[in-house]
Chains A and B, each alone.
Chain A
Amino acid sequence: MMVYGVLLAGALAAAPTRVVIVDIEAIEARFGLSSETPAPIAGDSGAQAQWQRQSDMLDALPQLIAAAAEKANADMAMRPATAKRLGIAADDATMAVSMALAEKFPEVR
């Protein structure tokens, strides 16, 4: 019986981390986002609005990733490359994040 206790303690002490992967680069490519886009020259209101929208979308991403991870009951979200390096097979939440972003910013769909 003690053996079961030890095994159970081991199983409970180190619960497996639930991971989802999010291909953030693919999302940025799909929506044409880049954190390195310089602010447009003042006066070009169209370019200014587009730059502002990009900035808003980039700002929204962490929250949308968190929401997708929580919905998937995950402890962590990481890039596919990180999961691959660790040898982890994880559910892919890229589509969920991408859809949430498109829903939040319908004008860029």
Chain B
Amino acid sequence: MRRLLALALFAMANSAHAGHILVADLSEAYTHSTALSGLLDAVDAELARIRTEYQPEIAKLQSQLRGLDKTQSAERLRIAREIHQIESAAEAAEVRLIEANQRAIATVDAAIDAAKTAVAEAESALALLDRNELLYVSPDCGCDRTAAVFADLNRRLPSVELQIDR
């Protein structure tokens, strides 16, 4: 009898572990991840810096261009070329920013994966899925580990650097 009871409980314990699935809603990562919210601020600041660096000069040249009459075609062409060069430089700066942002996001994505794995392993769960992967999750399943994943993520990666190639 004891053996049977032990066997049944052992089977229950094992089957439970084999099919235990956790969920985390990562859709608001930009709010809950300190690294991502910091990255957003850094990107905004860099965009503002690019605007400040290039826009006044472009505006000044555009004003000069408007002041020229049609007979001053050589001067008009020179200014137009200069505007184009500055706009190209601003676009190149934005491309470098986008690339730096993508690298930073890849770093955060890797940390999110590590956090998900750590939370799942801590509970011997089969998997920890992103809520977006699922069609339905019962509110009573007791499987939501969103807070635990973000807590782990913020410990693991409190911030991420926006490394822009200059």
A103 to B163, CA, bound (A): 56
Chain B interface helix/strand/loop/mixed: mixed
Partner of A76, one of B12, B13, B17, B137: B137
Instruction: Tell me how many residues of A have a C-beta within 8 Å of chain B.
Output: 29
| Closest B residue to A24 using CB positions | B135
CB-CB under 8 A from A79, the residues of chain B are 133, 135
Asked if A11 and B136 make an inter-chain contact with CB atoms under 8 angstroms apart, the answer reads no
CB-CB under 8 A from A14, the residues of chain B are 16-17, 20, 123-125
| Closest B residue to A87 using CB positions | B126
B contact residues, range = 20 to 34
Asked if B136 and A76 make an inter-chain contact with CB atoms under 8 angstroms apart, the answer reads yes
Chain A interface helix/strand/loop/mixed: helix
Known: A4-B6, A86-B126. A10 touches B135 (CB 8 A): no
A62 to B136, CA, bound (A): 7
CB-CB under 8 A from B124, the residues of chain A are 14
Asked if A8 and B9 make an inter-chain contact with CB atoms under 8 angstroms apart, the answer reads yes
Q: Which stretch in A37-45, A46-54, A64-72 binds the other chain?
A: A64-72
Binding site for B on A (CB under 8 A): 3-4, 7-8, 10-17, 19, 22, 24, 62, 65-66, 69-70, 74-79, 82, 86, 88
